[in-house]
Structure 1
């Protein structure tokens, strides 16, 4: 792993890379505030009815951002490195940066949203899809999980991760949409492609995220390769010291061995099979060629498979990952009375991330058109009459947020052991943004207005799984408080509203107490507050529950893939950070609990 980078500021890195996409492809534009790369509108129009949107954490380029172009994606939405974009970013892409009613003027278009199977992505993109549907947009979502590196038993409720095979779903769906097909047809074929994919990766080393301390990363031994490693450094099925031929044999076995009940996700039995050998970012072009030759040779010798198309190159990376992945697409009949999967893969497109050049006509057109945003602000709230002491609320909220900032390093350390290391930074980013808001616009004392003012800050600054969960919870909390207005906002009123919001959150995530998530701290706080009306007692219960997650095996999130004994050593990072927030609401600073103990509160 190399920790040397030309750009060490991860925020500047992402923003400048997004801008670069518009420099290398004149057909696309950038909504910098929301990190949306989108197709510029054209003067001569298009017969395309359906727009295709995807996205995810940055660091996987050229996937997503560089796949935007005529004949492929209509827009992509980027998060920070390895973290999902927020639901609000995705909503703005659906509502304002693509044609969502069709360019034929008949209103029979729509939007397909494709997303890889990671909890944060599914939650954030799913929330945006639901908001767009509520606004009257025809939109469907397809979730891609093609990775066989983690089997059924270990994946549990989470299911297969999405990796490089997702790019083939994008290409097929984008080509079909460009031919003017209906939303139903595009969704059907995208789902068919997703269900007929298997992929697995391998890497010689974990990647280093710019701006992150090197000591937080775990090295592989010299000569050791990790089979099934995920694209965010998630562990796979094994670490072994083997040469390339044996490595490729094991990878193909995980994809094709029908006797392996834990991994026999797909019977690759078509007369036509597409092979993609993908560079995770740090393998030389020369070496990738040698890897591709070995894969092709073993497919024919061991399985009698001669791929009808072979794609070898860089399609989805893990930053500068020193590894590669293999993807097989089982080509099946699309049953739509038109083009098949091979024809759709061969269809022309103009996206710099796909192996196709930008046409001379596109360069000479010098298109500078952009889309003017026409998305309404749905966070404007009027007075509710649910009043409380603004200064007391401001002081309590400020201390809670300061606690979250203070424990960032501790939460980050925990998350590097049982996650991908971004939890503490994400919580700190959101807390600092809210603190800035409070300094500029102090609380009014109207509970509904005050909570509503925080919602857009959270949606814009917090990404990943935690950001999605907090955004859903706070949006619901605004609604719950409205139903309890007018009147005095007491601890009992807060408890009733928080309980309603917890129930709403449970509709979007299967996380329950005991699954080792932030819900483990949230649930006892809400329950005890409702029973006692005492914030200190509620915070005490939340903190004890967060401590209790140490040794608790995860059922959800990336921690499921981590394995090992890390979960026995540290508590859940999300629950720990939230417990310290509740600690602040109870009037206790982050440093005090270690010295005073809960018995003195």
Structure 2
């Protein structure tokens, strides 16, 4: 029943928001794993030859087509045009950037670039404790962010820019990383949007980071010590909030929080994973390999901090 509910929500969304024609819908337990929670949705672009193969008679016990070729009825909805719920002007880069816009652009560019450069190392680490594709997945997201920023990011509006980053990630990043980073962006956007009447301050960014961490922890089930990206972001958030609360210069607070993120990521070498596929890996392997997700988070966070510091020195 739960899978039917999920399918019932997914199909209209594909039609109404993305303008796709859904020709076949298969719902059931096609691939499972130990302790698997939740569900996955797979979408495939198909032509007539692929549909014929999907409809071909088979003896496969779990495929919903019988040996006589009987199958569930085809579902062929009429595709509707996509309409954005945002103002058109929010989908384009401003012709002239404000000081805040230039700083935000530099931070995003630095963060995305360092992730791209870290691709091979992330894949190598993930090859020993996971699927081996962390670097490739993160690289796809970072590349899309750099490309989309040139055209679509409304950099003078911090909240909407974070929302657009989430859109870029959602479009190209698959797997758990894509879901987690989409959650991060959604939570940060909501927090920043609540304060959009005034200029975005370091306090607002601190609260946005805190809200993002809470969202990931709530929906992902992880927290500090679970050997995840949160082991980098939680220390960073705590240091940033602490330093700002005692009147520390915002840039200095950002840099110090980046150091905490790096230290937190490196500390995952000594941790046993509590969530995800890494929880099945032996302790001997963990003794020499940091968590790839935490290292990626620390890398982009630190790169953003350095970029903001450099930009501030120019003004």
If the length of structure 2 is used for normalisation, what is the TM-score? Answer: 0.72
Structure 2 counterparts to residues 189-588 of structure 1, below 5 A: 354-358=65-69, 369-373=76-80, 377=84, 389-532=100-243, 533=250, 534-587=253-306
User: Following TM superposition, by how much is the alpha carbon of 1:452 offset from its aligned partner in structure 2, in angstroms?
Assistant: 1.5
3-state SS of 1:52 partner:
helix
User: Following TM superposition, by how much is the alpha carbon of 1:380 offset from its aligned partner in structure 2, in angstroms?
Assistant: 5.8
3-state SS of 1:440 partner:
coil
Q: Deviations over 1:405-453 (max 9, x none)?
A: 0001000000000011121111111010000011223543111121112
3-state SS of 1:484 partner:
coil
List, as ranges, runs of 4+ consecutive aligned residues in structure 1 with deviation greater than 6 Å. Answer: 111-115, 118-121
Task: Could you tell me which runs of 5 or more consecutive residues in structure 2 were left unpaired when the two chains were aligned.
Answer: 17-25, 42-57, 91-97, 244-249, 308-315
Of stretches 387-396 and 571-580 in structure 1, the one that deviates more from structure 2 is 387-396
Supply the distance in 2 between the matched residues of 1:552 and 1:537 (Cα, whole angstroms): 23
Q: Deviations over 1:546-593 (max 9, x none)?
A: 0110121000000012225211111001001111101210227xxxxx
Q: Are residue 122 (structure 1) and residue 38 (structure 2) matched?
A: yes
Q: Is the 8 A contact 2:229 2:297 kept in 1?
A: yes
Supply the distance in 1 between the matched residues of 2:88 and 2:235 (Cα, whole angstroms): 30
User: Following TM superposition, by how much is the alpha carbon of 1:121 offset from its aligned partner in structure 2, in angstroms?
Assistant: 7.3
Greater Rg, structure 1 or structure 2?
Answer: 1
Structure 1 partner of 2:13: 95
Q: Is the 8 A contact 1:412 1:424 kept in 2?
A: yes
User: Following TM superposition, by how much is the alpha carbon of 1:122 offset from its aligned partner in structure 2, in angstroms?
Assistant: 2.8
Supply the distance in 2 between the matched residues of 1:527 and 1:112 (Cα, whole angstroms): 43
Structure 1 partner of 2:44: none
Supply the distance in 2 between the matched residues of 1:120 and 1:431 (Cα, whole angstroms): 28
Q: Deviations over 1:175-231 (max 9, x none)?
A: xxxxxxxxxxxxxxxxxxxxxxxxxxxxxxxxxxxxxxxxxxxxxxxxxxxxxxxxx
Greater RCO (Cα-Cα under 8 Å, separation 6 or more): 2
Aligned residues: 265
Q: Is the 8 A contact 1:393 1:443 kept in 2?
A: no
User: Following TM superposition, by how much is the alpha carbon of 1:402 offset from its aligned partner in structure 2, in angstroms?
Assistant: 0.2
Q: Is the 8 A contact 2:59 2:67 kept in 1?
A: no
Supply the distance in 2 between the matched residues of 1:472 and 1:435 (Cα, whole angstroms): 20
If the length of structure 1 is used for normalisation, what is the TM-score? Answer: 0.39
Q: Deviations over 1:252-272 (max 9, x none)?
A: xxxxxxxxxxxxxxxxxxxxx
Supply the distance in 2 between the matched residues of 1:585 and 1:359 (Cα, whole angstroms): 56
3-state SS of 1:444 partner:
coil
User: Following TM superposition, by how much is the alpha carbon of 1:53 offset from its aligned partner in structure 2, in angstroms?
Assistant: 7.6
Q: Is the 8 A contact 1:397 1:585 kept in 2?
A: yes
Structure 2 partner of 1:268: none
3-state SS of 1:372 partner:
coil
RMSD of aligned C-alpha atoms?
Answer: 3.6
Distance 1:53 1:119, change over 3 A: farther
Q: Is the 8 A contact 2:15 2:77 kept in 1?
A: no
Q: Is the 8 A contact 1:404 1:581 kept in 2?
A: yes
Supply the distance in 1 between the matched residues of 2:27 and 2:12 (Cα, whole angstroms): 9
Q: Deviations over 1:332-383 (max 9, x none)?
A: xxxxxxxxxxxxxxxxxxx6x64433259x9xxxx89543147764566987
User: Following TM superposition, by how much is the alpha carbon of 1:397 offset from its aligned partner in structure 2, in angstroms?
Assistant: 0.9
User: Following TM superposition, by how much is the alpha carbon of 1:404 offset from its aligned partner in structure 2, in angstroms?
Assistant: 0.3
Distance 1:118 1:429, change over 3 A: farther
Q: Is the 8 A contact 1:96 1:373 kept in 2?
A: no
Q: Are residue 52 (structure 1) and residue 1 (structure 2) matched?
A: no
Larger % of helix: which?
A: 2
Larger % of strand: which?
A: 1
Distance 1:586 1:410, change over 3 A: same
Q: Is the 8 A contact 2:104 2:155 kept in 1?
A: no
